[in-house]
């Protein structure tokens, strides 16, 4: 064998070894990167880097749920995973006013590969408002028990107050920028191929919804009057423009339109803002969460209407959704092909509040304050 041929064989061997180790190193680095990303999402909430397109945002899927709702929250999580989260892997945060049982935690964790955080509500967040009296609350419950749904329920009022002014203050949500609220016993009909949190961020959106019905009037008899008084006492907290005309007409009458907050995707800086906190505290001091039955849905919706512009609110038309009472199914072919619902079941395409939202425009702060003053001039 010639000297040159031997040298060629040695050189070929070196090249083969080099190529082998190069690709082995690349594989190891890729595996390490993937593991690091997964570990980040599993061991701390909201650590996704906001600058990268390949990582999670600081966001989570959140529910207030009781131990007895184990079956229904497992069904919801399975649907959310099937429709969206199996691909993205955002964590779930489940909150309860009591300790979750081991059975609850084990069976919920078994339904998903996503990380689940279980939290108990701080005692200071759950209970009777310090601005109401137990005697008057009992009288209000007795007076309302046959007037409307949950009219006599104390626990329902606790829930509405908590969802209105405390859920985003829970320590498990402290590092989040966004949350997606889910509930037991709901249905998600459509597959999502995109990240709605990233969509909200990239479009500079603050509040996302899917259904907007009318509120039950007797539950919110003084809510708008209390709201307009807050506006007049705190004009410096109002923005230059808002879409307040969605919740009140030209006569300053409350339209009862609201976003159904059992589904909402929200930039939490909104709820953490000085304006929203001031508004919630004002409502709480006036006692309507207990003396009436102010829900978190109308509270969130009025706050959005008076503190945001219309362009900061988004209807997730492509998210088919059902909560007992109403359902939304997309009827556009490009959306419905990803869904398993009946296109005829489209409440939002005929609802009065969705039509009104399409018609109204932002108005200036001076016009909003004029609407707030109008009842005093009649």
Active-site amino acid positions: 264
3-state secondary structure of 119: strand
Q: Which residue has the tokens 């594989």?
A: 27
Question: Measured between alpha carbons, how far is 80 from 78 in angstroms, rounded to an integer?
Answer: 6
The answer to whether 181 and 323 are in contact (CB under 8 A) is no
How, if at all, do strands 59-64 and 207-209 pair? unpaired
* H-run or E-run covering 207: strand 207-209
Phi, psi torsion values for 95, nearest 5 degrees? -120, 150
DSSP 287-346: THHHHS---HHHHHHHHHHHHS-GGGEEE-TT--EEETTEEE---SHHHHTTB-S-TT--
Q: Rounded to the nearest 10 degrees, what angle do helices 365-377 and 223-233 cross at?
A: 120
CB atoms within 10 A of CB 133: 14
How, if at all, do strands 207-209 and 313-315 pair? parallel
User: DSSP assignment, residue 130?
Assistant: T
Give 26's contacts (C-beta < 8 A, 6+ positions apart): none
The answer to whether 107 and 70 are in contact (CB under 8 A) is yes
The answer to whether 57 and 45 are in contact (CB under 8 A) is no
């Amino acid at each position: 064998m010639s000297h040159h041929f031997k040298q060629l064989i040695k050189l070929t061997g070196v090249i083969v070894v080099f190529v082998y180790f190069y690709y082995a190193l690349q594989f190891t680095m890729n595996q390490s990167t993937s593991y690091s990303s997964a570990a980040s999402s599993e061991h701390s909430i909201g650590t996704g880097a906001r600058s990268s397109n390949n990582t999670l945002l600081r966001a989570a899927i959140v529910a207030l749920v009781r131990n007895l709702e184990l079956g229904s929250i497992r069904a919801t999580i399975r649907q959310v995973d099937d429709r969206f989260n199996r691909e993205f892997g955002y964590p779930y945060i489940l909150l309860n006013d009591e300790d979750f049982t081991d059975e609850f935690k084990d069976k919920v964790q078994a339904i998903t590969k996503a990380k689940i955080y279980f939290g108990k509500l701080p005692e200071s967040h759950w209970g009777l408002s310090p601005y109401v009296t137990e005697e008057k609350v009992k009288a209000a419950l007795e007076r309302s028990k046959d007037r409307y749904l949950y009219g006599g329920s104390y626990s329902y009022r606790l829930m509405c107050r908590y969802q209105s002014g405390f859920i985003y203050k829970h320590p498990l949500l402290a590092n989040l920028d966004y949350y997606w609220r889910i509930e037991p016993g709901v249905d998600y009909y459509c597959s999502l191929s995109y990240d709605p949190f990233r969509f909200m961020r990239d479009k500079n959106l603050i509040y996302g919804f899917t259904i907007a019905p009318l509120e039950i009037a007797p539950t919110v008899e003084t809510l708008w009057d209390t709201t307009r008084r807050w506006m007049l006492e705190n004009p410096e907290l109002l923005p230059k423009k808002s879409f307040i005309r969605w919740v009140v007409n030209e006569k300053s009458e409350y339209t009862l339109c609201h976003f159904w907050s059992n589904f909402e995707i929200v930039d939490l800086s909104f709820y953490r803002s000085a304006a929203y906190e001031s508004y919630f505290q004002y409502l709480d001091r006036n006692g309507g969460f207990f003396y009436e039955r102010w829900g978190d849905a109308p509270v969130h919706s009025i706050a959005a209407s008076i503190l945001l512009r219309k362009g900061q609110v988004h209807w997730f038309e492509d998210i088919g959704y059902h909560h007992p009472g109403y359902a939304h199914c997309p009827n556009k072919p490009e959306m419905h092909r990803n869904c398993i619902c009946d296109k005829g079941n489209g409440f939002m395409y005929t609802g009065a509040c969705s039509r009104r939202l399409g018609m109204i425009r932002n108005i200036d702060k001076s016009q909003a304050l004029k609407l707030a003053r109008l009842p005093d001039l009649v």
